[in-house]
Structure 1
Amino acid sequence: MNTNLTKRALAVLLLATSVITAQEFHGKAEYFSKRIMKKVTEQVTEKIEMKNNPELQGLLEEAMKKASEKQYVLIFNKIECLYEEEQKLDKPEANNGMSVTVSFSSAGKKYLNLKDKNSIVEDNIFGKEFLVVEPLVKPEWKLIDETKKIGEYNCFKAELVIPVSEKQKKEYEEFLKKEEKKPALFKIEKPEDKIVTAWYSPEIPVSFGPDNYWGLPGLILEVNDGDNMLLCSKVVLTNKEKTEIKAPTNGKKITQKKFDEILKKKTESMQNEDGVIIFQQ
């Protein structure tokens, strides 16, 4: 870790804390996401043979772009935060009788509590709701000696390496075994360690950020994990209005390991011999 950078960040953090005063403060940050779609679009286009149909290919690309761009809200104080997607109704669009709809699944509300040292995430398996409860494990961020402005805030750079999990390795090994017997419709790329780049501002002295990212000496305003970008568009801070932060309560409490086991079992029971999930009405 860069010692000079750490001293600079701490100096900004102390200054920001003194400005906010000793009173408890609350805040809200708004984010929007942009999924990096090139690989996914190319694979889908190739498999369903759209290369010779420019109109259909255009509709697919537009639908995937639209599905990947979402808006989120993070409300926080110094101890806890709640992150959730903003739900909006889509306006009906006129077309020539042809339409393409794409949807990316994502977890529901995400709650972190630094005092209790736990996280609670809403998730579901084909409509059945669960609360995934896990102890907080602080990410091992590497502070980088680079700075930039995001809006009115001075930000510092940090990087995090997320190694390939045993779950990912096992899933890839199972895919290769099936691939030997019969080529799969959609390929799975060999999993690799993920490098996450974040920009945080000690001028907002909380250790939270969007999605699952936290643990830096300042609010995270931008994240890029190689597949998805999360960018902060607005921050509101106050020490007057107290915003109540409620942990999610809908669903059966379960660990992440148990949730993954149930999801795997349920998904396999609904797949045909090509690995395609069949929904029956």
Structure 2
Amino acid sequence: MKRLITSFLLCISIAAFSQANFQGKAIYQSKTTVDTDFGGRQMSEEQKKRILERMKNMLEKTYILNFTKEESIYKEEEKLEAPGSGRGFRFGGFAGGGTTYKNVKEGKLLEATELFGKNFLITENAEQPKWELGSETKQIGNYTCFKATLVKETSAFDWRNMRRRNRDNEEKKDTSNVKKVTDEVEMPKEIVVTAWYTPQIPVSNGPGEYWGLPGLILEINEGRTTILCSEITMNPSEKIDIKEPVKGKEITREEYNKVVKEKMEEMRERFRSRRGGNDRGGRGFH
């Protein structure tokens, strides 16, 4: 049954892909939920509400995906920030967001991002995600979407999947799918990612690093984060110009992860030093 569904969708995609100058624009809303115990500190509901409001810019974002048959650019929509709106909640010096470029024909993925004021251009091969196609469907706007899932290994630097360690129950709980980040923080080793895609828009693309399905991905559920398409414009009157990002130091994903790890360890040492009354300061980039 799954093979028949896949073959049918691919036939639709091939027919529609024959259209010349096929392009579009999709707007996505991203929302992440967090634990509200805030490290076990005693807080009133009003205090929690104020903190969540300040964190809103980090937890709720709008992204724009411009795409053609083979290429796409995915980036956060720029917004003017109100005074005190929570720019300090950028997870230390991690700016996040950035711009993700994909070329699904060439298997090329570039991510332009910022870390502690320095720009990086992360290059990697866009390997075909190992999706498992399902027959379940649902309607998103005017589009019929099909379900697909994959198991993804979490990154040690993805704050969205981090959670406070409950040491009181460590002996009771199953820790086979849990990895320690710090003495206070942990995260699952793997998570199940659910995608909803529509063959009515026959491009093998989607938000962020997600792609590889016989239709545009309109929704992603990844751990505590949901990314949902809220608006689509097909073949807009103004031509979409997609260019590879070029700004930043070229670096591989492995090299970038190493830099992030070093900066996280440095931040941890600085925090410990401050608590001990001896702030040794941090090292800059060289």
- Do both share a fold (TM > 0.5)? yes
In the alignment, structure 1 residue 135 sits paired with structure 2 residue 135: no
| TM-aligned CA deviation for residue 266 of structure 1 | 2.9
Please give the per-residue CA displacement for 1:236-269, whole angstroms capped at 9, x wherever unaligned.
1117643110111110111011111122223323
CA shift in 2, pair 1:223/1:154, >3 Å? same
**SS of match in other structure, 2:114:** strand
| Aligned position for 1:102 | 89
| Aligned position for 1:184 | none
**SS of match in other structure, 1:260:** helix
| Aligned position for 2:167 | none
The aligned length equals 257
For 1:103, the aligned partner's letter is R
Superposition misfits of 4+ residues, deviation over 6 angstroms: 165-169, 276-279
For 2:132, the aligned partner's letter is K
In the alignment, structure 1 residue 62 sits paired with structure 2 residue 53: yes
CA shift in 2, pair 1:89/1:5, >3 Å? same
| TM-aligned CA deviation for residue 60 of structure 1 | 1.2
| Aligned position for 2:64 | 73
Structural RMSD (CA): 3.2
* TM-score (normalised: structure 1): 0.80
Which runs of 5 or more residues in structure 1 are unaligned? 180-186
| Aligned position for 2:7 | 7
Q: Is residue 203–residue 216 contact of structure 2 (8 Å, CA) maintained in 1? A: yes
Which runs of 5 or more residues in structure 2 are unaligned? 159-175
Please give the per-residue CA displacement for 1:157-203, whole angstroms capped at 9, x wherever unaligned.
1111113579999x94674xxx4xxxxxxx22253311011110111
CA shift in 2, pair 1:132/1:279, >3 Å? farther
Q: Is residue 54–residue 84 contact of structure 2 (8 Å, CA) maintained in 1? A: no
Please give the per-residue CA displacement for 1:201-231, whole angstroms capped at 9, x wherever unaligned.
1111111101111110000000101220000
Range moving further from structure 2, 247-256 or 85-94: 85-94
| Aligned position for 2:226 | 229
Distance 1:116 1:12 in 2: 22
Distance 2:32 2:157 in 1: 23
| Aligned position for 1:119 | 109
| Aligned position for 1:30 | 27
| TM-aligned CA deviation for residue 67 of structure 1 | 2.8
* TM-score (normalised: structure 2): 0.78
1:1-281 equivalences in 2 (<5 Å): 2-14=2-14, 17=16, 22-37=19-34, 39=35, 41-42=36-37, 44=38, 46=40, 49-51=41-43, 53-92=44-83, 102-103=89-90, 105-163=95-153, 172=179, 175=182, 179=183, 187-238=184-235, 241-272=238-269
Normalized per residue, the structure richer in helix is 1
| TM-aligned CA deviation for residue 149 of structure 1 | 1.3
Q: Is residue 179–residue 187 contact of structure 2 (8 Å, CA) maintained in 1? A: yes
Sequence identity, in percent?
38
